[in-house]
Amino acid sequence: MESIAFFDARPYDRVYFEVLAPKSGLELMFLEDKLNPRTAVLARGCPGVCAFVNDDLGAETLGALAENGVRAVAMRCAGTNNVDLRAAERWGIRVFRVPAYSPASVAEHALALLLTLTRQTHRAFTRTRERNFSLDGLVGTNLEGRTVGVVGTGRVGAKFAAICRGLAMNVLAYDPDPRWGAGVEYVRLDELIRRSDVISLHCPLTPQTYHLLSRTAFHAMRPGVIIINTSRGALIDSEALLDNVKSGKVGAAGLDVYEEEADVFYEDVSNKVMRDDTLNLLLSQPNVLVTGHQAFLTQEALRAIAETTVENLRRFFSGEKVENELRASTPTEV
């Protein structure tokens, strides 16, 4: 059996991987450590590793993996902005991903954030648990008839746009490569930013999309705009977002990701001092809802992730073609 070092392992990961991996000739070594240059040595003797969104797969880590005999990296996620693909090619390491595990899972979580913020169910939940049934301060807004701007119409963005159409919202979309247009008006990004009541991000993080929502972009938005991000944290300039929440320009924000999340998300830091002042201040705002990068976390998605990841590795070690292989020139979508 081929040994795989499985980094950043969580109990919900193991449920499906433990069942599927042995059937494909894989022996998984589950490690709680995140993958980085220091922990790469833990993969010694394993020809493959399995990694996740907040693992560090930069050039230094990949070099350390190669020196320890690793030939394949299986990402159990769609986004690969944390992987230096050029360095992987230099070191002769093959990289695979899971391009589509459950677009509905992420799209539905984006909707959950949006509905929670517009109807303030998170605040109502806290009140009623304390036997406070007052409705003061809980006035919501309808989504029907409002304009949502969907940035990125890959699998997840298209699913979210379809959901919004089902709510009788007007859907604007921006994508450099429009592929889905039924009931959707494709516009330039600056026009989407200017016209939308809700802006939801569904695009990969690249040098071109880094801080896509910048101070300039926030300045052009409608007063009271709602921001939803279930893609990658660095799509938003977090300090600019905080300033616009405090000024009232941004009416609400639902964030499943954060640009400096790597050392916080997926961890219990409730008994620690969190030094990230921007995140602390965002968490303190009543109109900001933060979840810990859990949009993917459904039974259906976890099963699909495990199935595709295991199959990617099985094909690689069997000498078969792996359609989900990534190279430096591979375009990505979410």
Known catalytic residues are 232, 261, 293
CA distance 103 to 105: 5
CA distance 288 to 279: 11
- Helix ranges (H only) for 22-135 are 59-67, 85-91, 103-119, 121-129
- DSSP class of residue 258 equals -
Task: Give SS3 for 123.
Answer: helix
Task: Give SS3 for 22.
Answer: helix
For the beta carbon of residue 45, count every other beta carbon within 10 angstroms. 11
Strands (E), the chain: 2-6, 26-30, 48-51, 72-75, 94-96, 147-151, 170-174, 185-186, 198-201, 225-229, 250-255, 288-290, 325-326
Q: How much is the CA Rg of the chain, to the nearest whole Å?
A: 21
User: Which residues are paired to 170 by β-bridges?
Assistant: 147
Distances (CA, A) of 57 to 120, 144, 150: 39, 43, 29
Amino acid code (one letter) for 49: V
For the beta carbon of residue 99, count every other beta carbon within 10 angstroms. 18
Backbone phi, then psi, for 35, in 5-degree steps? Answer: -80, 130
